[in-house]
Structure 1
Amino acid sequence: MNVEENIISLISEQLPRSKKQLNELFQSDAEILKKKNGFMLFSVDDFSKEDHFRATDPFQLGKNLAVATLSDIFASGGVPQYFSHSVALNPAKWDNSYLIELSRGVAEILMETGAAFIGGDLGTSDEWHYTGIAIGHSDKPLMRKKTAPGELIYMTGNCGTGNLEAALQLFDLDSDITTQFELRHKEARLIQEFATTCIDSSDGIVNALRTISSLNNIGFLIDRLNPDPIASAFMAKLKLPEELLFLGECGEYELVFTIKPEDEKTFLSEAESRELNFAKIGTIQEEKKVLLSGSAHYDLSDFNIGGRDFADPKEYIFALTKYLQSHENKIS
């Protein structure tokens, strides 16, 4: 259990829980509550400067904040119905025109999903903070705990968009690259029909899979990195290993899920009929190892490097790079 999980556990142990709640701590992206008809899904996420979202384009930032907030509902097999937020800002930095564009970005995502804004809160702060709240519904909720060895690991989109967004900010590069976190509401409906487990990649791909591994007492082999091509080219330009897109914890808010191998053919056929694309990136293994295979091979079983452990994010990048160098070609 890492520091963040330990803090969450300590707080939760002091608080009463509802008998209607289906999930235990860490078992799902959203909280799942039994209703008379189906299940209510609830999620709250806080975003700030430490998430390394660029804030130069308020419309783009609004879209990314909304997608990031709603991804927990999608990962839990739900459809978002209501959306709320609490915004803390410095009026000298975010003026009226900025707020209008930010709100337009949020609204565009909500209108595409059919979710309604039901109000929120406003405060002031030297640096911006955004807390997104989403409420959804599901007839068949998904959790992170139900996979087994031999199942296949799939994901929506590509790996590394969030880490690219962070790198563009950390290296203070004047770039015209736009990093849009994709709305996966259509994909989520199909995933709900076939997946045994699902999690979003808000903390990066490797952390998402390590969570599933820990909850299910299994390991996994990733044999396809599936990098975002723009992010991959950018990493090459910086002379950093492409695998950092997989290890870094600035996630891309894609959906990572498992399906049974006997369901794969039907799943892919249905995906094609709906014009949806998914990438198979690996398999669930019985052995409790985290393996990454590609142009190089890594045993990541002891991986435990967190960005919050470093005062300087660039030191975090250096630590990840050093870790990869020391673990290359160690698959036995």
Structure 2
Amino acid sequence: MFYDGHPQIERAAVVLRLAKSWFRIGSLEILEKSGEIELLKQLVDFIIKHHFPSINEGDVDKYVDFYWNVVNQTASLIALWQSVGFAHGVCNTDNFSLLSIIIDYGPFGFLDEYNPGFVPNTSDDEGRYSYENQPDIGKFNLKKLQTAISPLLTEKQKQSTDDVLKQYSVIYKTKFMDIFRRKLGLITEESDDENLVAILLKMMEETGSDFTMTFCNIGEISLNNLSKNNISKNLWALFTLKKHKWFKDWKNMYLDRIKRQNTSDRQRQILMKQTNPRYILRNWMAQLAITKAEKNDFSEVRKILRILTDPFSIQKEAEDSHYALKPPSWSKQLKVSCSS
């Protein structure tokens, strides 16, 4: 759609993608829609046998159990996406694995500044697959899966799958909070934790704080320095966040919350560094690698691959390449589409 009538020769590659299975929600949808119910049954039985060993193949409720597994795992997967600021880009049912593994993510992207409405796919004009919409899209797709397997269910079992789908939001919220507690170094649960996270994210949104590095910076600063508001410019994301009018109140809430769980600052920092990646595949990094590769220099591609195999550890070559610094201003102009 962006072709302007001037062809340009570009380097291409053949990519081999490996996965445990390529069966998606759409693999079952198409059989239900075309009325191929016997083939649908054979396929679901095959998937259960080969990929869901915990399900008893002789159980009359095996299809309900199958649905429960997919709902649970999908909610967990999307909570993980949200926790690292990952936006899939095209979350239709043909791109949603029945094993809840990430496949067919073409125009994906990671958040730089925290923007809930972030859309990685420039051709997604309506923002259907924005970062903030992913949890609801997951539920929408699971509803489609429920419809696809409905010919295999009794009326009672259909009601059971209704009850399962209602649990999706509960499972997602539980998984989301479990991860975000760890992202903040919390090892216990309190009723007000959701508010602590929500206020932080709202401050990040309003200040344009970097999603990845804000959590890293909170994990890097000592509680003593945080309490004194002694935040150096080296902690650039947190330095941006502290400009918010709510920051002082949030900081005090956070310090009190850490104090109540009775753990050392060192324990807090270790947990946060194990949970929060320092390096993500930012668009500007990918673009640098592409530009060099077009000149037969694949060094940047290899470097990014090395670094992202261990994104939680500080690595000298990543620091030397400024991978943990504020993205360059030109990166805001980069656009990604399905043909990227």
TM class by shorter chain equals under 0.3
Please identify which structure carries the higher strand content: 1
Q: Compare CA radii of gyration and give the structure with the larger one.
A: 2
TM-score normalised by the chain length of structure 1: 0.22
